[in-house]
Amino acid sequence: MNLAAASAMRREHRTSLRLEMACELSAVRAATLAVRDWLAEKSLPETELDGWELALAEAATNAVKYADAGARQLPVTIEVLWGEREVEARISDHTAGFEWPEKVDLPDVDAEGGRGLFLIQSLTDEVVYLRHAGQNIMILRRVRSTAAKETLPDVSQLQNRLADTEAALMDMTAELSSSYESLVALFRYSAELGANTNLKEFANRLLKDLMRLSEADCAVLRLLSPDGKKMETLLVLPENGNTFLPTLVLADTVGSVEIKTALNRQDFWFGPEEPLAVEDPLRVIVPAGNGICHAIFVANQLVGTATLGRLMADKVFTAAQVNLLHTFTDFLAIQIVNARLMTERTDAHVTRRELQIAADIQRSLLPSKIPACRPFEVSAVCQSALQVGGDFYDIIPTGDGALLMIIADVMGKGVPAALR
Amino acid sequence: MNLLAASDGSLRVTGLDRLSASNCAEFKEMIKPRLTDDCRLVELDCASLRFIDSDGLGTLINIHKRLAQQEGKLRLCQPSPMVRQLLRMLHFDELFELTP
C-alpha cells in the first residue's frame, strides 16, 4: 500500500456516504433528508442544503418514475462525496435511461411537467449522466461556497493533513517492522527446532510472539485428532486458571466457529456484525470483541485451527496482521507434521527392536541342545509365521534311556501367542 | 393539511408541509372536488411548506390553469425564501400572486 492510497482511504471513509433506497416514491423523502442531515453535520450553509435536497429529490424521483416493473425490485443508490472543494452526489438507477439534452430549457411557463432536469442543472455546477445497459449514473457536483477559503489552507488543516500523513507513515513503519520481526522470529525458531523437542512449548512461544506482533489479546490453537474426528485444544493464551476449552467433535457442529473453519477449510471472522454463537466455547475467551479463525493446512491436509481475538470490538485485525497469523501458524503446522512423522519413525524403530527382543526371548525358551538318544537321531526346527511365534518344543531325557518330547502350539500367531 | 371553503367559493389550504412527487396526486384529489365553478381564489398558506419539487410545482400550475379558466387566481401566502427563490427562478412569480 503506498502512502497516497493509505491516506486517501482514510479520508474517503470519513467523507463519503452511501445509501440505498427502495425504488418507490415514498422512499425519496427519507433518503434526501438523510443526505441533508449528513451534509448539515459538515456545516454546509442552509441555502446549499436546500439546493442539494431538491436536486437529489428530482434525480431520485426520476429514477423511480421511469423504472419498469423489473427495475422496481432493485434499489436506487445514492452516494455523496465530501471533496476538498466540492460536494459530489451519484445517483444510480436501473431505468432504461435517457439522452441528456445538449441544452436544458425551461418548458412553457404553464406546462405542468418537464422542469426536473432544469432544476437539477440550475442547482448544481456540473451534471454528468452516464448511460449503461442495466444501470445509469447521474453525477452532480457543486462547489462549496465555504471551500473558496480553503484555496489557502489554514494552519489547523495543514496540521490535520500532516497528522494523516504521519499516521499513514506510522502504519507502514509498523507493518514493515512487524514483517521484519516475523522473519527474524521464524529464523530463530528454525534454529531452535533441533534442540527443542517439546512441541507444545515450541508452539506456546511461537503463539505468544504472534500475539505480541499482531496485537492480539488472546489466541487458541486446536489440532485435529489423528482419526480426524475431533479438534483438541493444544494451547489457550493468555494462560490462566479458567482458560479450559473442551475438545470439539467435528460431527457436532453446534455453533463453533472453529468447527466451521475446519469444515469449510477457510478463514472466518467474528465481531459485532458476525457475533460468535451463544453456544460457541470460544465465548469464554472472547466474550465480546472480534477475531479471526484460520484453518491450518500442510500439503492439503487439515492440521487444525488457530484463532486470534481482541477484546475491543472496534479494533479489527489489519491485513498485515492476518498475514502474520497465516505465516506463523502455517510454519508451526509444518513443524507439527514433521514432529509427527519423526515420532512415527522412532516408534516404528522401537517396535522393531522390541519385537527382536521378544523373538530372542521366545527362542531362548527352546532347547539349544538336543540330548543324544542312540540309536535315534533327533533334530528340531521352529519357523514362526511372524517375527515372534507361539510354538514351543522341548526334549527331556527321563533317565531310564527314554526321551520325553513336548510339542506345544498356542492358537494364534505373533506376540500374543508367544506370551500365553 | 386543512381545507377551508368560504361562502364566496374561495378555498384556503393550510398546514401543508411538503408538496412533492410522493403526495401531489393525493393533494390534487383533495382539492379537485372542492374547486367549484364559482371559485375565484385559492389561497395556499406556505408558512408551513418546507419542501416543494417540480411535481409539486406542476400541481400548482394545474390548479392555476383551472382557476384561470374562470378568472380565478392562486395566491401563495408567506412562502419561505427558498420557495420564493424557486418560484422566481421558474418565472412562477408572474403567474401566482405572492404575499409576504
pLDDT, tens digit, 9 for 90 and up, residues B63-89: 999 999 999 999 999 999 999 999 999
- Residue A125: inside a domain: yes
Q: Which residues pair with A21 in a beta bridge?
A: A76
Is the pLDDT assigned to residue B14 strictly greater than 60?
A: yes
Q: Which of A29, A53, A116 sits opposite B54 (nearest CB)?
A: A116
Residue B87 DSSP class: H
Same domain, A204 and A262: yes
Q: Residue A148: is it exposed, middle or buried by C-beta count within 10 angstroms (0-12/13-18/19+)?
A: exposed
Cβ atoms of A356 and A348 within 8 Å: the answer is: no
**What's the mean pLDDT in B37-50?**
92
Same domain, A273 and A388: no
**CB contacts, 8 Å: A55 with chain B:** none
Say which CATH topology domain B2-99 has. Transcription Regulator spoIIAA (3.30.750)
Q: Which residues have CB under 8 Å from A245's CB, separation 6+?
A: A220, A233, A236, A281, A282, A284, A285
Identify the domain containing residue A146 by its residue range: 3-152
**What's the mean pLDDT in A330-350?**
86
Check residue A402 and give its pLDDT: 81
Q: Which residues have CB under 8 Å from A189's CB, separation 6+?
A: A202, A205, A206, A331, A335
Last residue of some domain: A152, A185, A207?
A152
Check residue A29 and give its pLDDT: 93
| CA separation for the pair A46, A60 (Å, rounded) | 21
Is the pLDDT assigned to residue A6 strictly greater than 60?
A: no
Same domain, A222 and A127: no
**Coil, helix or strand for B85?**
helix
Check residue A26 and give its pLDDT: 92
Interchain contact A45–B (C-beta under 8 A): no
Same domain, A14 and A138: yes
**What's the mean pLDDT in B15-19?**
94
Same domain, A324 and A211: yes
**What's the mean pLDDT in A352-377?**
81
For residue A156, the tally of other CB atoms under 10 A from its CB is 8
Is the pLDDT assigned to residue A416 strictly greater than 80?
A: no
Residue of chain A whose alpha carbon sits nearest to that of B57: A112
End-to-end alpha carbon distance in chain B: 21
Task: Report the range of poorest mean pLDDT among A1-15, A49-63, B44-58.
Answer: A1-15
DSSP string over A150-203: GGS--HHHHHHHHHHHHHHHHHHHHHHHHHHHHHHHHHHHHHHHTT---HHHHH
- Using the beta-carbon criterion (under 8 Å), do A26 and B21 form an inter-chain contact? no
B54 — pLDDT class (breaks 50, 70, 90): very high
Is the pLDDT assigned to residue A376 strictly greater than 60?
A: yes
Q: Kindly report the CATH number assigned to the domain that includes residue A96.
A: 3.30.565.10
**What's the mean pLDDT in A101-128?**
90
**CB contacts, 8 Å: B92 with chain A:** 109
- Residue A11: inside a domain: yes
| CA separation for the pair A97, A134 (Å, rounded) | 9
Same domain, A376 and A325: no
Is the pLDDT assigned to residue A408 strictly greater than 90?
A: no
Cβ atoms of B100 and B89 within 8 Å: the answer is: no
Is the pLDDT assigned to residue A1 strictly greater than 50?
A: no
pLDDT in tens, A7-31: 333 333 457 888 999 999 999 999 9
Look at chain A and report how many structural domains it folds into.
3
Q: Could you give the angle at the alpha carbon of A329 between the alpha carbons of A324 and A335, nearest 5°?
A: 135
Last residue of some domain: A127, A152, A177?
A152
Same domain, A144 and A175: no
Q: Kindly report the CATH number assigned to the domain that includes residue A303.
A: 3.30.450.40
Does this complex have an ipTM over 0.90? yes
**CB contacts, 8 Å: A116 with chain B:** 53-54
Same domain, A263 and A383: no
Check residue A152 and give its pLDDT: 61
Check residue B73 and give its pLDDT: 92
- Measured in angstroms, the CA of B91 and the nearest CA of chain A are apart by 7
- Residue A277: inside a domain: yes
- Residue A99: inside a domain: yes
- Residue A310: inside a domain: yes
Is the pLDDT assigned to residue B25 strictly greater than 70?
A: yes
Same domain, A198 and A92: no
Residue A243 DSSP class: -
Mean pLDDT of chain A: 83
- Residue A333: inside a domain: yes
Q: Cα dihedral sign for A203, A209, A215, A218? A: positive
| CA separation for the pair A308, A294 (Å, rounded) | 8
Encode A369-403: b = buried (16+ Cβ within 10 Å), e = exposed. Answer: ebeeeeeeeeeeeeebeeebbbbebebeeeeeeee
Interchain contact A106–B (C-beta under 8 A): yes
DSSP string over B3-70: EEE-TTS-EEEE---EESTTTHHHHHHHHGGG--TT--EEEEE-TT--EE-HHHHHHHHHHHHHHHHT
Q: Which residues pair with A136 in a beta bridge?
A: A93, A131
A194 — pLDDT class (breaks 50, 70, 90): low
Same domain, A320 and A180: yes
The type of residue at B83 is V
| CA separation for the pair A192, A195 (Å, rounded) | 6
Q: Cα dihedral sign for A82, A84, A87, A93? A: negative
Check residue A8 and give its pLDDT: 34
- Measured in angstroms, the CA of A144 and the nearest CA of chain B are apart by 18
The type of residue at B66 is R
**CB contacts, 8 Å: A106 with chain B:** 90-91
pLDDT above 90 as % of chain B: 70
Same domain, A96 and A126: yes
Last residue of some domain: A121, A152, A183?
A152
Domain boundaries, chain B: 2-99
Interchain contact A49–B (C-beta under 8 A): no
Same domain, A142 and A178: no
Check residue A418 and give its pLDDT: 62
| CA separation for the pair A80, A32 (Å, rounded) | 11
Check residue A341 and give its pLDDT: 86
**CB contacts, 8 Å: B62 with chain A:** 112
- Distance of CA A302 to CAs A229, A406, A408, B20, Å? 11, 56, 50, 61
Q: Which of B62, B82, B95 sits opposite A112 (nearest CB)?
A: B62
Residue A95: all three cell numbers together: 431505468
CA B55, distance to chain mean position in Å, is: 12
**Coil, helix or strand for A67?**
coil
**What's the mean pLDDT in A109-122?**
90
pLDDT in tens, A140-186: 999 988 765 545 667 777 788 888 888 877 877 777 777 777 777 77
- Residue A246: inside a domain: yes
The top-scoring range by mean pLDDT among A72-81, A166-175, A364-373 is A72-81
The type of residue at A121 is Q
Tell which residue, A349, A405, A411, A338, has the closest CA to residue A373: A405
Q: Could you give the angle at the alpha carbon of A410 between the alpha carbons of A407 and A415, nearest 5°?
A: 120
Check residue B20 and give its pLDDT: 95
Is the pLDDT assigned to residue A294 strictly greater than 90?
A: yes
Size (chain A), residues = 420
- Residue A348: inside a domain: no
Rg (CA), chain A: 39
End-to-end alpha carbon distance in chain A: 72
More confident residue, A339 or A232: A232
Check residue A417 and give its pLDDT: 63
